[in-house]
A and B are shown apart, each in its own frame.
Chain A
């Protein structure tokens, strides 16, 4: 079992650009959530996808959007990148939205310059 896999592991982008991050959930999981972890902080919830729809959203602007595919994998898109978007982006998967046991990927380190 490969667990939760994320790609790429590291990424450098310029202000104003757009970025797409990818996540494959743990085998058997159908729910994917995305989190942003700034340096020295705890992860913050961005949104959760289930059955290809956004089901719950945290306090993030519309520049942050996502998608879930029929195979349960997911993408996080961020438009008009700001320096403050530099962070570790974590993907978590669980079963049926309940998430009493969520598994996290190792994250994508995004640096905006």
Chain B
């Protein structure tokens, strides 16, 4: 079964400092992995996706993630945090069934950004 584990429930950074949100995955086949962001009272927005192409994936708003098969990791990074980055972040793996696809979400990491 596919699963993801987000290693930190809460990460706090100062504005202008780097962001690292950690995610490990478990998959019985080559996975499709995603990071989604959820701002308060808003829907989920796709930040970036990995689907077996380049292992370093660039997303929106300066975020990127690196797929490391040997470490079964897909950590999300950003060089310099902005106040508007404060939100809930979800690491997600795609579970391909016989007739459809489910997205399996981690429990989320709350990112706080202080000035």
**A contact residues vs B (CB 8 Å cutoff):** 4, 31, 33, 35, 40-45, 48, 50, 55-56, 58, 90, 92, 94, 97-107
Asked whether any CB of chain A lies closer than 8 Å to the CB of B56, the reply is: no
- A42 & B100 in contact (Cβ 8 Å cutoff): no
Query: Would A48 and B49 count as touching, CB distance under 8 A?
Result: no
How many residues of chain B are within 8 Å of chain A by beta carbon?
25
Known interface pairs A42-B90, A100-B51, A100-B94; A106-B42 also in contact (CB < 8 Å): yes
Chain B residues lying within 8 Å of A92, measured Cβ to Cβ, are 44, 103
Q: Is B46 an interface residue (CB 8 A)?
A: yes
Residue from B42, B51, B102, B105 in contact with A42 in the complex, judged by beta carbons closer than 8 Å = B105
User: A97 and B103: CB pair below 8 A?
Assistant: no
Chain B residue numbers with a CB within 8 Å of A99 are 94, 101, 103
Tell whether A90 pairs with B102 under 8 Å between CB atoms, given A41-B108, A100-B51. no
A56-B97, A100-B51, A100-B94 known; A43 and B44 CB under 8 Å? yes
Contact B103 A55 (CB under 8 A): no
User: How long is the Cα–Cα vector from A100 to B97 in the complex, in angstroms?
Assistant: 14
How far is B45's CA from A101's CA once the two chains are assembled, in angstroms? 10
Question: Is B99's CB within 8 Å of the partner chain A?
Answer: yes
- The 9 A-B pairs with the shortest beta carbon distances in the complex, nearest first, are A56-B100, A42-B105, A55-B100, A104-B44, A45-B102, A55-B99, A106-B43, A48-B100, A56-B97
